[in-house]
């Protein structure tokens, strides 16, 4: 039974990752291309040679988002297989949505509210390790809080 949910999670993750790559290609990449053109214009038209050209980078975008989607989908499929019989919903669709909402709240929403996005060049470079550890700690604590709340609700 776990294999079925794992395969479904992997397939859904791949689809979501490729859709995320498509979104990034049409929404994010034009801004990156404009920024590169501005840098080249400011440098007097001199092009800086990179390791990969822009076409390869755009193909890599789909590879990266697809691979990340497969990984997250697989983890979700395994988690769903474990929690499926323990979730108090009538349908598999409602169970998967409630699990996804709980994981989103614990892994993304709560940590974002505590530690909003911070560009890499902002802040003291000497504190990067401390800030990273703090962020991962709040992710772990918020996931544990979601799990504890689910357990208490199940008992009550």
With cut-offs at 50, 70 and 90, classify the pLDDT of residue 121. Answer: low
Contacts of 4 (CB under 8 A, 6+ apart): 81
pLDDT at 46: 67
- Token representation of residue 38: 């501005």
pTM listed for this prediction: 0.78
Average pLDDT of the residues in 106-115: 89
Is residue 62 exposed (0-12), middle (13-18) or buried (19+ Cβ within 10 Å)?
A: middle
> What ranges do the domains of the chain cover?
1-86, 89-156
Average pLDDT of the residues in 78-100: 89
Q: pLDDT per residue over 22-69, tens digit each?
A: 999 999 999 999 988 888 888 776 677 778 888 899 999 999 999 999
């Amino acid at each position: 039974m776990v294999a079925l949910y794992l395969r479904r999670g992997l397939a859904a993750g791949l689809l979501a990752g490729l859709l995320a790559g498509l979104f990034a290609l049409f929404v994010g990449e034009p801004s990156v291309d404009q920024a590169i053109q501005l840098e080249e214009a400011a440098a007097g038209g001199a092009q800086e040679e990179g390791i990969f050209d822009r076409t390869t980078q755009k193909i890599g975008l789909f590879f990266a988002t697809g691979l990340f989607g497969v990984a997250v989908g697989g983890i979700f499929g395994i988690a769903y297989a474990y929690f499926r019989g323990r979730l108090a919903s009538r349908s598999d669709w409602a169970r998967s949505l409630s699990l996804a909402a709980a994981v989103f709240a614990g892994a993304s929403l709560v940590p974002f509210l505590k530690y909003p996005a911070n560009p890499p060049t902002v802040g003291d470079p000497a504190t990067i390790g401390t800030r990273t550890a703090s962020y991962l700690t709040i992710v772990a604590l918020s996931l544990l809080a979601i799990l504890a709340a689910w357990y208490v609700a199940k008992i009550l």
